[in-house]
Structure 1
C-alpha cells in the first residue's frame, strides 16, 4: 500500500511541473507589465501562459505539450515576437529601439536561431533580391563586383537549411509548405495540390499559422466557382473530423471578414446541423456567430475603462435603439466613417438613439485621446485584438456595426456607416 501511495504521489507531483518554459530577458521599460504567451489552433490564438516582469525577466510556464508557432505579446507597447516551440525550453533577449519598439529578439536555442535566420532570409528575398538581379545587368561579368552580386543572389535564392531542419521536424514542415500560404506561388498550384495539403498534412498544420492564408489562396484560385471549391474541400477533409471542423471554422470566419454573407450563412447552417461531436474551435465559432445573429439579444458588456458615462454595462444604457460600433484609433476606415456618425449625432440623440463604441486599441492613452473627440459612450479593454470583444461578438475587422432595439436585441448588422444611417432613416 505504501508503495502504491508513493507512486501516486510522484505522478501527482509530476503533473504540477511544466512541459517547458519560455524565459525572456527584458529592458527595464517593461517593468511590472503583463506579457502573454499564445499558441495557435489555425488562426485562432490560444492563451497558454501569462507572466509579469520581475527583475527585468519574464518566465512563462507551459503545462501542455505544444509543437508549433507561438507568440509572446507585450501589451505595454502593442508588440509581439513569434517563435517556434518544440516542446522544449526557450530563452531569448528582447532589444528595443529609442522609441521603445522591438528592434530584435536574440534566441539562445538552435530551433529559433534557425527560424530567425530563415525569416531574415525571406525578408531579404522579398526586398533585396529583385533589385540585385536588375543591378547585375549593368556590370561586366569580369568585374569583381559582378561576381560579388552573383554570390549574393545565389545565397538569397537558395532554399532553407534543410540539413539543419532534418533534426527539427516542425521547421522542416513549415519550410516545405510555405508555398501554399505565399500569395505569389498560389497561381502555380493546382486544386489537387491544395486538397492534398489540407487533408494529408500532419497535426503541424493547425499550429503552423499556414492554414488561413492557404485557405484564402485556395479560394482566390477558385474564383470561377468558390462555392463548388469549398464543397469539394469540405468533402475531402470530412467535416465530422477535427481537421475538417477547424477548416470549416476558418472558412466561416473568412466569409464573415470579407462580407461574403451568402456563403457564411450556408456553411454556418451546415455547421449548426452537424450531429457529431464538435471540437472546441468550431464550437467557439458557432457560439460567437449564433449569439450575434439578427434576432438574438446581444451579449452584455461590462465596462472597464468607460468614457462619457456612469453606466456600468451596455445593458444599463436605456434608449429606443443603440448603435454599437467596434473600432480602433489606428483604423483608417474608422477614421473615415466615425465622423459621419458625429455629423448626425444630434439627430440620433433627438430620436433617443444611443451610440456606444468599443475600441480594440491596445494603448489606453491613444484610445482616450481619440475617443474624447466623440461625445458618445466609449470603452476599451486596452488589449487590442487580444480583447474579449473578438470572440464574444465575432469581430474580425473594424469598424463593425450592430443596431440594437430597446431590449438589446440585434435588429441589423450594417456593413458600412452609410448603411447604419440609412437603416435608421437619419438624413
Structure 2
C-alpha cells in the first residue's frame, strides 16, 4: 500500500509568512514553558508544532488556510485549551491558579462569539426546562410571571450568525442544530446525513462533528441494519477518497468503543485490503490496530516514572507472562475490577506473572493515592487521553487488558478481570 501525507502527525517546518497566528498569554506565576498546537481531523488530534514560552506568551504561526477546531496542550502542567480558527489571528489570555487554567478570556472576535454561543446553548439546555416547570406556579400577568416569560423567550431565541463573516461558526452551529441538537423536533433521515458527508467541504473534518453525527446516523438505521447502513454510506463516499477513508477510520473506532467486534473486523478488513493510496488518518488506525492484534509482539514502552520496579521498559520486565492493564483512578469500572486483581496478586506473582498498570490519569495526587495500594508495576505520563500509549495500543476505554507471553507476544485480550483470571487459571 502506498501512503500519502495529507497532514502529518509529525512536526513540520513553518515558513516565515504565516497565514495567521495563535497567541496565548499567561500570568507570570504559570510555571509552563512548552506548548503543543493541534488541529483536528475527524476525532483525531493532529500535532502541528511546539513552541516555548517567551515572557509567558506562546505564539504559533500557521502557514496555511485553516477553519476549524484547534487546541493547545501544556504537557508539564497538563492543561488543555480548545478554541477555533477562522483563518484569522487568535488571541487568548489565561487566568491560572496553582498551575491550572482557571479562566479563559477570548480576545479575538471569532472565539468570543463562539464562546458566547456555547454558553447560551448550555443555559438553554440546563435552565430552560427548569423555568418551564416554575412557570406553571405563576400567573402570566404577575411581575415574576412576566419576567419568567421574558427570560424563557431570551433563552429560546436562536443566535443569528453572519455566514460571510464567521463561516466556521455558522457551519458548526447550523449542522449541530440540525443533526445533534435535542431541540430538533424533525427527525433527520439517513439520506440527509449521507448528503452532509458527501457534499460538505473540509470544515466537516475540522468541526468535531464527524463522530457524533456518525453515531446518530447508525442510530437512525437501528441495531438490525448496521451493516446495511454503513455500506450505503461508504459506497456513496467511496473508500478511495480522503473523506471516505476518514469515515471508515471513525467507524472502525466507533465499533471498537461500543464493543461491536463483528462490524469492527469487517470494516477493518476492508481497510487492510484497500489497493488505493492510504491517507494518514486511516494509516494511523490500521497501525494502532495492528499493534495489538492477537499474536503480534506488543510494542515496547519506555517507562516514564514507574514504581515497584527498577527496569526501564515493558520488554525489560522478565516473567513467564505479563498482564498489561490500562486504567484510571477516576474510572468506576476500574474501581470494581482492579481490587479483584489485588485479591489474587499473591497467586499471580507465585506463577511468575507480572502485572503492569499504565494509567490514563491527569491528577498526580489521585493517581499516587490509588497506586499506594497496588504492589505491581505502575506508571503514568499523567496526560490522560493525551498519553502516548493511548494511540499506540488503540485504547478507547478503561480498563483494557492484554496478556503477553515471555516474548511479549499478545496471547489474550480479555474483556474483564474475570476473563484475565480464567486465562491465568486462577480461581
State the TM-score, normalizing by the size of structure 2: 0.91
* 8 A contact 1:49–1:62 mirrored in 2: no
SS in 1 for 2:246: helix
Q: CA deviation at 1:241?
A: 0.7
Residue 73 (structure 1) aligns with = 73
Considering fraction of residues, name the structure with more helix: 1
Counterparts of 2:350 and 2:215, CA distance in 1? 44
Aligned to 2:145: 146
Secondary structure at the residue paired with 1:16? coil
The answer to whether residue 160 in structure 2 is matched with residue 156 in structure 1 is: no
Distance change >3 Å, CA 127–CA 29, structure 1 → 2: farther
| Distance in 1 (alpha carbons) for counterparts of 2:186 and 2:300 | 45
Instruction: After TM superposition, give the deviation of residue 133 of structure 1 in Å.
Output: 2.0
Deviation at 1:20, TM superposition (A): 2.3
Alignment check: 8 A CA contact 2:292 2:394 kept: yes
Pair 1:415-2:415 in alignment: yes
Structure 1 distance, partners of 2:143, 2:263, is 58
In structure 2, how many angstroms separate the alpha carbons of the residues matched to 1:104 and 1:219? 37
**CA spacing shift, 1:187–1:253, aligned 2, 3 Å:** farther
The alpha carbon displacement at 1:274 in A equals: 0.6
Measure the CA separation in 2 of the matches of 1:27 and 1:237: 48
Give, in angstroms, the shift of residue 21 of structure 1.
1.9
SS of equivalent residue, structure 2 residue 407: coil
- CA shift, 1:184, in A, is 6.3
Q: Residue 38 of structure 2 contacts residue 72 of structure 2 at CA under 8 Å; is this kept in 1?
A: yes
What is the Cα deviation at residue 354 of structure 1?
0.8
Contact 1:124 1:156 in 2 (8 A): yes
CA distance in 1, matches of 2:241, 2:76: 39
Question: Aligned ranges for residues 271-286 of structure 1 at < 5 Å?
Answer: 271-286=271-286
Q: Name structure 2 gaps, 5 residues minimum.
A: 1-12
Distance in 2 (alpha carbons) for counterparts of 1:423 and 1:14: 51
Within a 5 Å distance, the mapping from 1:189-208 to structure 2 comes to: 189-208=188-207
Using a 3 Å threshold, how does the CA distance of structure 1 residues 29 and 396 change in structure 2: closer, same or farther? farther
2:254 pairs with 1:254: yes
If asked which structure has higher relative contact order (CA below 8 Å, sep 6+), I would say 2
Determine if contact 1:182/1:214 at 8 Å carries over to the other structure. no
Distance of 2:64 and 2:333 partners within structure 1: 40
1:176 corresponds to 2:174: yes
Are the structure 2 counterparts of residues 103 and 150 from structure 1 closer, same or farther at C-alpha, using a change threshold of 3 Å? farther
- In 2: Cα distance, 1:102 partner to 1:61 partner: 23
The CA deviation string for residues 71-113 of structure 1, in whole angstroms up to 9 with x for no partner, is 22344554433211012211111224x6765443211211111
Determine the C-alpha separation between the residues in 1 that align with 2:126 and 2:289.
Answer: 40
**Corresponding residue of 2:328:** 328
The answer to whether the Cα contact below 8 Å between 2:140 and 2:149 also exists between their aligned partners in 1 is: no
Hey, what's the Cα distance between the residues in 1 that align with 2:90 and 2:279?
A: 29
| Aligned counterparts of 1:337 and 1:183: Cα–Cα separation in 2 | 35
Please tell me the root mean square deviation across aligned C-alpha atoms, in Å: 2.1
Aligned partner of residue 31 in structure 1, secondary structure: coil
C-alpha contact (below 8 Å) 2:71/2:80 kept by paired residues: yes
CA distance in 2, matches of 1:286, 1:383: 24
Measured in 2, the distance between the counterparts of 1:425 and 1:14 equals 56
Partner Cα separation in structure 2 for residue 237 and residue 184 of structure 1: 29
Residues 36, 181 of structure 1: CA spacing in aligned structure 2 closer, same or farther, 3 A cutoff?
farther
> Is 1:360 aligned with 2:351?
no
The answer as to whether partners of 1:49 and 1:61 remain within 8 angstroms in 2 is: no
- The match for 1:166 is 164
Cα shift readout 1:113-169 (whole Å, capped 9, x = no counterpart): 11011001101011111112222232222223322222221221122222x343111
Instruction: Please list, as runs of the form range in 1=range in 2, the aligned pairs for 1:11-30 lying within 5 A after superposition.
Output: 15-30=15-30
Aligned counterparts, 1:57-96, within 5 A = 57-75=57-75, 78-96=78-96
Q: Which is worse superposed, 175-184 or 254-263?
A: 175-184
Q: What are the Cα deviations for residues 283-313 of structure 1, in whole angstroms up to 9, with x where unaligned?
A: 0000110121001111111112111111111
In the superposition, the TM-score normalised over structure 1's length comes to 0.91
The answer to whether the aligner puts 1:304 opposite 2:319 as a matched pair is no
Partner of 1:107: 106
List gaps (5 residues or longer) in structure 1. Answer: 1-12
